[in-house]
């Protein structure tokens, strides 16, 4: 017992130090090319009312409560949600809106508190548009520890891929695409 306790304490301290040394920030991004103009795509991103049609997070909890504030779209448009344990609670606010970029402040309240930035960039690509959905944020100690077992890229990247595929289907099927 005398030897086990110091060794266990040393292992715990080493694990805490290892977790603390992990990256302080994360970045997740996915891209797709949509056969539509940027002007046909941006309205689907720039208006939170339209997210129910393409965002994978909207489909996680069909009973989710949604609240909209500010202008209907563009800078200042805001969206809050309260959902089940999978979707949690949080808010988004558009902080930048141009034909080539939509920036969103993203605040999570439940199941964990976090402040992140989501960015959609749209770049002409041949006869279509390359759309990139990215999220950047801070890793606290808990998210660094969770990251030992599952990465933010793995958890969120798959959802971004689903969302971009849905957005692609909607934008390519829209008149004027």
d(CA 170, CA 177): 10
CATH of domain 4-173: 3.30.530.20
Of the listed ranges 34-38, 102-106, 152-156, 160-164, the least confidently predicted one is 152-156
pTM score of the predicted model: 0.81
- Alpha helices, DSSP H only, in the chain? 4-20, 38-46, 51-54, 56-60, 141-146, 152-173
Q: ω before 111 within 30° of 0 (cis)?
A: yes
Instruction: Answer whether 46's CB lies under 8 Å from 32's CB.
Output: no
Question: Where do the domains of the chain lie?
Answer: 4-173
Q: Is the pLDDT of residue 83 over 60?
A: yes
Write down the pLDDT at residue 87.
85
Q: How sure is the predictor about 144, in pLDDT bands with cuts at 50, 70 and 90?
A: low
Q: What is the mean pLDDT of residues 63-76?
A: 95
Q: What is the mean pLDDT of residues 55-71?
A: 91
Please report, for residues 6, 22, 107, 121, 141, the alpha-carbon distance to residue 114 in angstroms, rounded to integers and kept in the order given.
35, 17, 6, 22, 12
Hey, which residues does 33 pair with through a beta bridge? 130
Of the listed ranges 71-80, 85-94, 138-147, the least confidently predicted one is 138-147
Hey, which residues does 106 pair with through a beta bridge? 92, 116
Q: How sure is the predictor about 61, in pLDDT bands with cuts at 50, 70 and 90?
A: confident
Tell me what the pLDDT averaged over the chain comes to. Answer: 85
Q: Pairing between strand 89-98 and 114-125?
A: unpaired
């Amino acid at each position: 017992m005398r030897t086990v306790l110091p060794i266990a304490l040393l292992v715990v301290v080493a694990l805490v130090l290892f977790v603390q040394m992990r990256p302080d920030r994360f970045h997740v991004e996915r891209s797709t090319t949509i056969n539509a103009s940027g002007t046909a795509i941006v309205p689907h991103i720039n208006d939170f009312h339209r997210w129910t049609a393409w965002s994978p997070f909207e489909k996680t909890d069909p009973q989710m409560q949604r609240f909209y504030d500010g202008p209907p779209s563009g800078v200042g448009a805001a969206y809050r949600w309260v959902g089940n344990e999978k979707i949690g609670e949080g808010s988004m606010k558009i902080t930048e809106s141009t034909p080539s970029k939509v920036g969103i402040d993203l605040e999570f309240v439940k199941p964990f508190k976090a402040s992140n930035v989501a960015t959609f960039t749209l770049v002409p690509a041949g006869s279509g548009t390359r759309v990139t959905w990215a999220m950047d944020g801070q890793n606290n100690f808990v998210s660094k520890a969770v990251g030992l077992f599952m990465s933010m890229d793995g958890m969120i990247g798959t959802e971004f891929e689903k969302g971009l595929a849905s957005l692609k289907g909607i934008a390519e099927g829209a008149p004027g695409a």
